[in-house]
Each structure stands twice: as C-alpha cells, then as structure tokens.
Structure 1
Amino acid sequence: MLPFTLPERPPVTRIRHRARRHDTPADARTQPMAGFEPQFTDIVDYIVRITDEIWMDRAIGRIYDTYDASCVIFSHYGVTRSVEEVIAGTVTTLNAFPDGEIHHLNVAWSGDESSGFYTSHLGHSRSTNLGRSGWGPATGRRASIRFAADCISRDNRIHTEWLVRDNGAQVRQLGLDPHDCARRVAASPGFETVLLAPETRLEGQAPRGALTLDPTTPDGWARHLFHNLWNLRRLDWLPNHYAPDATVHAGGGRVASGLRAIGQLLIHILAAMPDAIMRVQHVCHSEETDGVIVAVRWVLEGSSKAGGVLGDCPEGKPVFMLGVSHLRLDASGKIAEEWMIFDEIGTLAQAWCA
C-alpha cells in the first residue's frame, strides 16, 4: 500500500522494461497536449522521442523545434541561456563521445497543456571518449553513467531545464583524477558560480522540528522524507521509509545495498558539508511497469570539508550540490530502489575556486 494518494491523471507511456517506443508507429494521443506535434502521444513519449532523435539519430537540428530560442538550462557549470548554446554543447559532446547510446530508465511528470509540463527524465548513457572533451584530450576509454534532466515544456518547446550528470563516475572511468578535473573547471573562463544563502541549521536557539505539510500527497511525502533524513539527520528512521534490502545507486558510481550501507552513504555525503541544509525544489511521479516512482529535484547547500564524497578538498568554501533522486516504491509502500544523481565534480569545482 502506498504511503500517499495518487492524483487522477491521464494514462501515459510506460518505458521501463520495454523496447524503444518510437520503433513502432504512434498510437492515438492519450493526453491533451495543445501545441505539440501530432506524433507525440503524451508527455513521456515526447521526452523519449526527442531525446533519441537528437542524441541517437543525430538530428541535432530538432533542438530548434523542441527548445525555446531563449531557453535556460541550469547545471553545476553555469547557466545556458539560448538554443544556440544548446546546439553548440550538443555538437561538442557528440564529437567527444561519438558512439554514445542512451537508455531511458524513467520519466516522471506533472502539469498539463495549459500551465506546461514538468518532466524528470532519468537515463543511462554508454560511450567512448574519442574526441576532446571538457576534461581534456581524448582518452580512448569507455564510460557508463547515469543522468537526470528535469524540463519544463509547453507548446512543443522546452524553456527551462535542470541537468545533472554523474561526472564523478565518468572521469574515474576515463582514468582521470577528480580533483584535477575540478580544478580545470574552476579555472575555465566560462565557469559560473552562484551566490548561496543557506539557512541556519537552527531555528533561533532550537533545532529544527518536523514539517507540517500533508504527508498523504506525493509532494508532502517526499518533502517529509528528505527533511527527516537530511535536515534532522534521523538516519534511525531509514526503516520507516526503505525496504530492508533496498538499493541506492548514487553519484560517483557508488552503490549501497541494505539499510546500514544506505545510512553510511548519506553520512559520507554529509561529511563533505557537515553544516548542509537540504532543499527540495520539485516533486513529481510516474506509475511504471514495476511500481510508482517519485522523482525529487533537490539542492544541498553548505560549507566544504575534507573527508566525505569531495575527498581532500579545500575547506570552508560555500558549495552546493544539485541532485535528482528517483525513488521506486514496492508493494508495501517502502523504497525498494533509488537512483540518486549528483555531480561531485561540479561541487568540487566550487570548492577549488579562488
């Protein structure tokens, strides 16, 4: 039994444990999508198809059809502010990793044709570094990483996106040193940092208390979960939320199986910024072949400290970690599997800034 009540909404494409959707002709549209091209049956089908067209079929020009001219994309490395920058970034990436392939793991969503659709796309890519990349000359090595792209789209065009790639896993598989890569990013002229104003971990003189949001909605449930574990640091409550044999696939290629290992993983992340505050920025969900998946976009803000996932980094620097978690629930309502996507190289680069 789920710990929350799902809202009623139109049925959409399911992609987990299925072959590529667009190898077959589109079915009749199942969801109102005014302004979208007629071949897209629903918002999940839209995201999957345009991703494969651009990255697998090399239809780079489709970006002009599916991204707004003044689109804004947020990442650890700065802000992209036009469709021409998206085109340039795509060309550069395809040149560095020309044999790339993409596998779709989940697309959670919310919204409608009037207000716009929000999608959280969890994917897995495999590719060989055969050209120069942002990390330096080609290594000839193969890398396999996960990514998350959260997008807001309306009238067939994406106008806002948050992009997180597991670059920590990528640079290690390419045989590179994470700190060398982070210093290279920090020294690059295009690297853009943000001004942080994290809240204090106390409310006045007292520790923070529990949230008062309704926990019977997917949004309220997720916000309670992240607040309890990350802000209140109540890792003893993990059994309330995770199945005993749950698995977490985290940034840097890390995997934790079982409650004890999951708790240690969270401690390892917090150790890199022990004063951090967790902010949940958006929640949506999917009803997939193997259960309901709740997608959470979050940011962890604090001061850097050596010893956690950031390794021997400069200490006391204001840093943030942008992340996206997809949480798959089992029949009992507990989390059976989580994909926690974050980019430790982007966070390290902030710590290495002068």
Structure 2
Amino acid sequence: MRGFDPKWCDVPHYIIGITKQIWEDREIGALRHLYAPGLIVRSPASVVRENSNVIAATMATLAEFPDRELLGEDVIWCEDEQGATDTSDAFLSSHRLICTATHSHPGVYGAPTGRRVTYRILADCAIRDGAVYDEWLVRDQSAIVTQMGFDQVDWTRELITREGGPEQCVKPMTPANDVAGPYDRPGNDNEWGQRYADVLGSIMAANMDVIPRAYDRAVELHYPGGQDGLGWGDADRFWMGLRAAFPTADFKIEHVVGRDDPLMPPRAAVRWSLHGRHSGWGRFGQPTGADIYVMGISHCDFGPFGGAGQWGQPTVRREFTLIDETAIWKQILLQTGDHE
C-alpha cells in the first residue's frame, strides 16, 4: 500500500491495528498523524471537525470507560482510485467491531453505574496517505444505555439537560448541520454490494415479501439495542417497525461496498439514510410529526441456502444493522418540547 507504514499488510490489518493502537495501547497522540488535518467525523449524535477534537473525545471516553476494548469483527473495503495520488493509494473501509467496557467513572453517560456493557460500532473511513480523512460512524447507543439500566428516552431527556438544555445541547446530525467532506464517491460496483443494496431498497419500498426470498430462513440478525434475532420473522419485525415509523421519509443509498475474499463469505456494506417525518406508529411509538434524519449502516454475509422458492441461490446469511436510537429520540424530544 503506497503511502502507508509497511508494517500494515493490507487495509483490514491497518484498520484493526490502528484501532487497537489508539484505544487499547493508549497511543492517543498518534491520532495527529493517523487522522488527517481537517478530518470530519459524522455520527448520528454530532458532527466533529478536526483531529484535535477527536483526540479530546477519545480521552473523555477512555476516562469514563478506562478498560474499553474494541474487537474487530470485519473490514469490508474497496479501493478508491479517484482519491489516490502518484505516491499514495486510497481506500474506503467499512469496519465492524464489538466494544466491551465498564462504566466506572462519570462522563457523558452520567454518574458511574459500574455496569459492564457490550455493543457494536459500524464505521466507514476514507483513507489516504496512511491517514483517515473522512468518517461516518454509528454506535449502538441504545444498547449502552439499556445495559446501564436506563430507559433510553429518559436518558436522552437527561442528556439534553446535562448538555445545557435545548438551546445549548449538542445537536444530532442532520442535513442542515452536516459538513461536506472530500470523499464523495459511491463505493464499488461489486455484485454483492449491489445485491444487498437492492434488497434494502426493496424493503424500504414496502416490498417486505423480499425478506423470505432474499434472506436465509435461518438468517442470524444483529440490530440496534443489542437485539439479536433469527429468521425471517425477526428481520420483518425490525425493518417493518423502522419503516412504519417513517413511512413517507426519503430513503437513500449513500455508499455501497461488496467483497469476495479468500476464507470469507461474500459480504456487503451499505450506508444509507432516511429523512422525513415521524408520521407513523412503529419503532418510535406515537407519531410526533418531528422531522427526523436517520443515518444507518448495514453489513451482511451471503450464504448458499436460497430463500422461499429460491433454493441454490445466494441469500443473506448474517445481517448487522445499526442506527443510533438515542439520536432519533433527541430529535423528537427537541422538536416536540418534551425534553424536561
């Protein structure tokens, strides 16, 4: 990889390696060169600019969760030829990891609870010259707060208060406060990525009958709130509940990567968004009419057992989808005035 430290064998080795280097080996200062100047990190909860602010946020997290470990599950990546230079290659990686930590000190999550938490993160990173220069990240916040023993709506309401109230609190990411970054490519045109993007598009177009055709009957499912599921019924309940809450929201595929690597099943990573009114009953309760932006990232593995009437055709064997439910509740609470 041109422009990268030769100790990294490939993109997954780099992504998993620097994650451990920063968080577990405590080389937080390495962010000054592992993250490029002007970096933009977008999460549903906020938009952070400049690696100095990322360093501050990293230290705050480690102060609150000093034993935090980040276990890399997979890196689904593609080359970015348009972003490359004469001296450096460029890539887009979609990284899936499991975090374990103990809430042992006060911080963003409030007074220490002593609770042990386990949750997933999905992150898309644009990389060039051995540094991340653009990033999109979704953390399973609702899994964290529920494992601490909180109701996620009550916790979000208290967060608004801790941050100074509705005027001063950190605003969730929306198109209004997003910052356009240098990476604006759509990913690659690998068949597995396109197949999965088509499945998600069908679901969001209310064609829920695609699930028994496109998913393995024994599909393994991992959804927000740390919810694990199995089979067509659980897939239908999650996606139906999400889409039903925002039935008229615009669905957009933001980025697609497909991979087929040795020793791995064919895989796909899709970053997507929903933007529109909370106008339906579903995963977020009584409709409020709030204008909501949802950033989601989904990973899947494909397997050989076809769905209903499709035996022998590839289907989704494992699916991992994250949205930040607390960021959605924060948007709802701020717009409805129900934040006290």
TM range (shorter): 0.7 to 0.9
Q: Match for residue 206 of structure 1?
A: none
Secondary structure at 1:86's aligned position in 2? helix
State how 1:168-183 maps to structure 2 within 5 Å.
168-183=142-157
Tell me if structure 2 keeps the 8 A contact 1:218–1:283: no
CA distance 1:229–1:194, shift in 2 (3 Å): same
Compute the displacement of 1:342 (Å): 1.3
Q: Match for residue 244 of structure 1?
A: 217
Tell me if structure 1 keeps the 8 A contact 2:255–2:272: yes
Q: Which moved more, 1:50-59 or 1:297-306?
A: 297-306
Tell me if structure 2 keeps the 8 A contact 1:135–1:184: no
Q: Which amino acid aligns with 1:129?
A: H
Q: Match for residue 5 of structure 1?
A: none
CA distance 1:306–1:349, shift in 2 (3 Å): farther
Q: Match for residue 309 of structure 2?
A: none
CA distance, structure 1, for counterparts of residue 52 and residue 143 of structure 2: 28
State how 1:275-290 maps to structure 2 within 5 Å.
275-286=248-259, 287=261, 289-290=263-264
Q: Match for residue 264 of structure 1?
A: 237
Compute the displacement of 1:294 (Å): 0.4
Tell me if structure 1 keeps the 8 A contact 2:45–2:324: no
Task: Using the aligned pairs only, state the percent identity.
Answer: 30
Tell me if structure 1 keeps the 8 A contact 2:265–2:301: yes
State how 1:144-293 maps to structure 2 within 5 Å.
144-186=118-160, 188=163, 189-193=168-172, 217-230=191-204, 232-286=205-259, 287=261, 289-293=263-267
Compute the displacement of 1:301 (Å): 1.8
CA distance 1:34–1:130, shift in 2 (3 Å): same
Tell me if structure 1 keeps the 8 A contact 2:40–2:134: yes
Compute the displacement of 1:196 (Å): 5.1
Deviations 1:213-243 (A, max 9, x none): xx9833432332121111x211112122111
CA distance, structure 2, for counterparts of residue 246 and residue 222 of structure 1: 14
Q: Which amino acid aligns with 2:145?
A: V
CA distance 1:196–1:154, shift in 2 (3 Å): closer
Secondary structure at 2:246's aligned position in 1? coil
Q: Which moved more, 1:88-97 or 1:114-123?
A: 114-123
CA distance, structure 2, for counterparts of residue 217 and residue 178 of structure 1: 38
CA distance, structure 2, for counterparts of residue 337 and residue 44 of structure 1: 20
Q: Which amino acid aligns with 2:94?
A: S
CA distance 1:123–1:288, shift in 2 (3 Å): farther
Secondary structure at 1:337's aligned position in 2? strand
Deviations 1:140-163 (A, max 9, x none): 111100011110010011110001
State how 1:112-123 maps to structure 2 within 5 Å.
112=80, 113-114=84-85, 116-123=90-97
Q: Which amino acid aligns with 1:249?
A: H
Q: Match for residue 34 of structure 2?
A: 66
Tell me if structure 1 keeps the 8 A contact 2:44–2:173: no
Q: Match for residue 35 of structure 1?
A: 3
Compute the displacement of 1:135 (Å): 2.2
CA distance, structure 2, for counterparts of residue 99 and residue 285 of structure 1: 34
Q: Match for residue 16 of structure 2?
A: 48
Compute the displacement of 1:76 (Å): 1.3
CA distance 1:216–1:95, shift in 2 (3 Å): closer
Tell me if structure 1 keeps the 8 A contact 2:172–2:330: no
**What is the CA RMSD across the aligned residues, in angstroms?**
2.1
CA distance 1:102–1:117, shift in 2 (3 Å): same
Secondary structure at 2:211's aligned position in 1? helix
CA distance 1:56–1:120, shift in 2 (3 Å): same
Compute the displacement of 1:246 (Å): 0.7
Matched, 1:130 2:98: no
CA distance, structure 2, for counterparts of residue 63 and residue 72 of structure 1: 13
Tell me if structure 1 keeps the 8 A contact 2:193–2:269: no
Deviations 1:157-202 (A, max 9, x none): 11100010000111000011211222244453352245559xxxxx
CA distance 1:195–1:150, shift in 2 (3 Å): closer
Tell me if structure 2 keeps the 8 A contact 1:99–1:128: yes
Tell me if structure 2 keeps the 8 A contact 1:186–1:352: no
Question: If the length of structure 2 is used for normalisation, what is the TM-score?
Answer: 0.84
Q: Match for residue 322 of structure 2?
A: 341
Compute the displacement of 1:344 (Å): 0.4
State how 1:293-308 maps to structure 2 within 5 Å.
293-305=267-279, 307-308=281-282
Compute the displacement of 1:307 (Å): 4.4
CA distance 1:67–1:304, shift in 2 (3 Å): same
Question: If the length of structure 1 is used for normalisation, what is the TM-score?
Answer: 0.80
CA distance, structure 2, for counterparts of residue 64 and residue 309 of structure 1: 40
Compute the displacement of 1:275 (Å): 2.0
